[in-house]
Amino acid sequence: MEHASPHPLTWGGAGESPRQPRDPGLGEGDKEPRAEAAGEACVSVAARSPVAASLRVFRTKVTDARHPSRFLPSPCRVLVLLNPRGGTGKALQLFRNRVQPMLQEAGVSFTLRLTERRNHARELVREEDLSSWDALVVMSGDGLMHEVVNGLMERPDWETAIQKPLCSLPAGSGNALAASVNHYAGNEQVTNEDLLTNCTLLLCRRGLSPMNLLSLHTASGSRLFSVLSLGWGFVADVDVESEKYRCLGKIRFTLGTFLRLAALRTYQGTLSYLPAGAPSSKISAGSPLGHDQPGPVDSLLVPLEQPVPENWTVVPEHEFVLVLALLHSHLGSEMYAAPMAQGTGGIIHLFYLRAGVPRSMLLRLFMAMEKGTHMDLDCPNLVYVPAVAFRLEPHDTRGMLTVDGEQLASEAVQGQVHPEGFQLEAERIRTQPVTAYDDNSTLVENK
């Protein structure tokens, strides 16, 4: 988890009055950062600027039916939640030097708040008056977006709160969600400042796209939501064990991969899933999961102490190297793990790697993942299946479990995907049909 600065910060941006009220989160000894008045530049974009050129291209593209019809208002107001210690610790500098000028030029007014501890963003959005903002902008890694979404889902008004548009600006180590959004927009795979620039441009363009949301239930009784992935085994071990190398940025994952390859191990467990498009099966009598908790009802799931429904598939093997349930195309800024993913349509991209894979093949798989060609290696141990729900039951506590890069206790967990669960600042240029399924795993449409 990325930690934050010692003090919260509220900073008014383009288009806001310099006479903003003092942030109650600031102590008596803290100084309120000066709001920047941008004048006319806040309202209209300079005709010859790079942002203006990008917006003209977007307006031309938007006539194509492949693009979303939902947009933020213009001008708009956003709340930026930034973790100053995420990734290599340069997020605030990057915001001031790269993001802020683009927002000012595009007429996006902002207030900036720095998180100061684990789950601070979760607490903030749980109590925030969301009517003050047209969107919430999250500048950090994937863990901060995980906090924000779960904070929204914990509100009494979760059903409307989760529809508040969100934006991911990459400033962490993995930046998988931002890389996926960049990919959906038809941009080439880039990292670091280039990825940040592309994602900021998407915010300036104001286009919105619905995204899948994964609802999860654990054996200990907790419910949480994922915007990106659930990992168990090798991939989770690398994520958690490389935390000590956070100062290296995205290179930490490469180092962690080699270290875990040198001490390769397997994990015992049972994996079950409901394939996308499988015939519906009537769930036994009783209240559906999630009926007594904030969030949508998970009509495809039964309690963990019960066997999975008859229309589910139970993987016969019980020894794995890894299990990965992925909602989006990327697992990192340079890990194109699910080339078939579009982030919508109610699909979980479920990968599992059975025990017995040679280290040399595992290394080839991870190297090929940068270009998304790992499936072309035809590794007999690697299995991919599109699903709408799954259950993972570790047989012991040996392996690590992560959700959106955040470590959880190694215990039984199951999940169901909900299409159009939240809105993200994104453009979508489809290169292949997206197959959508409803909550009964029934084909809705190819769109």
Domain of 261: which CATH number?
Answer: 2.60.200.40
Encode pLDDT of 376-422 as tens digits: 999 999 999 999 999 999 998 888 899 998 989 899 999 999 999 99
Q: Are residues 81 and 120 in the same domain?
A: yes
Is the CA virtual torsion 125, 128, 130, 133 positive or negative? negative
CB 9 within 8 A of CB 112: yes
Is 142 assigned a catalytic role?
yes
Name the pLDDT band for 428 (thresholds 50, 70, 90): confident
Q: For residue 447, is pLDDT > 80? A: no
Name the pLDDT band for 204 (thresholds 50, 70, 90): very high
3-state SS class at 351? strand
Q: Are residues 85 and 186 in the same domain?
A: yes
pTM above 0.85, yes or no: no
Q: Are residues 320 and 241 in the same domain?
A: yes
* 96 inside domain: yes
Strand (E) or helix (H) holding 109: strand 108-114
* 25 inside domain: no
Domain count, the chain: 2
Q: Are residues 164 and 243 in the same domain?
A: no
Mean pLDDT across 299-307:
95
Q: Are residues 183 and 268 in the same domain?
A: no
pLDDT at 437: 42
Q: Are residues 238 and 262 in the same domain?
A: yes
Pick the closest to residue 241 from 226, 270, 263 (CA basis).
263
Q: Are residues 199 and 223 in the same domain?
A: no
Q: Are residues 221 and 185 in the same domain?
A: no
Of 181, 212, 243, which residue constitutes the final position of a domain? 212
What is the C-alpha separation between 305 and 289, in angstroms, rounded? 12
pLDDT at 207: 95
Strand (E) or helix (H) holding 205: helix 192-205
Q: For residue 237, is pLDDT > 70? A: yes
Between these two residues, 235 and 349, which has the higher pLDDT value? Answer: 349
Name the pLDDT band for 219 (thresholds 50, 70, 90): very high
* 303 inside domain: yes
Encode pLDDT of 252-300 as tens digits: 667 767 677 777 899 999 999 999 998 866 565 456 676 678 899 999 9
Q: What is the CATH number of the domain that holds 189?
A: 3.40.50.10330
* 35 inside domain: no
Between these two residues, 116 and 429, which has the higher pLDDT value? Answer: 116
Among residues of the chain, what percentage have pLDDT more than 90? 64
Encode pLDDT of 49-78 as tens digits: 556 555 555 444 443 434 455 899 988 999
Q: Are residues 219 and 206 in the same domain?
A: no
Mean pLDDT across 165-177:
94
Q: Which of 142, 237, 239, 439 is catalytic?
A: 142
Q: Are residues 174 and 262 in the same domain?
A: no
CB 158 within 8 A of CB 127: no
DSSP output for 401-415: EEETTEEE-S--EEE
Q: Are residues 157 and 203 in the same domain?
A: yes
* 55 inside domain: no
Q: Are residues 234 and 350 in the same domain?
A: yes
What is the C-alpha separation between 27 and 62, in angstroms, rounded? 46
* 439 inside domain: no
Q: For residue 187, is pLDDT > 90? A: yes
CB 22 within 8 A of CB 40: no
* 365 inside domain: yes
pLDDT at 400: 86
Q: For residue 440, is pLDDT > 90? A: no
Of 178, 197, 212, which residue constitutes the final position of a domain? 212
Of 212, 243, 268, which residue constitutes the final position of a domain? 212
Q: What is the residue range of 315's domain? A: 215-423
| Residue recorded with tokens 């208002």 | 73
* 174 inside domain: yes
What is the C-alpha separation between 421 and 409, in angstroms, rounded? 25
**Range scoring the smallest mean pLDDT among 9-18, 149-158, 159-168:** 9-18
CB 55 within 8 A of CB 106: yes
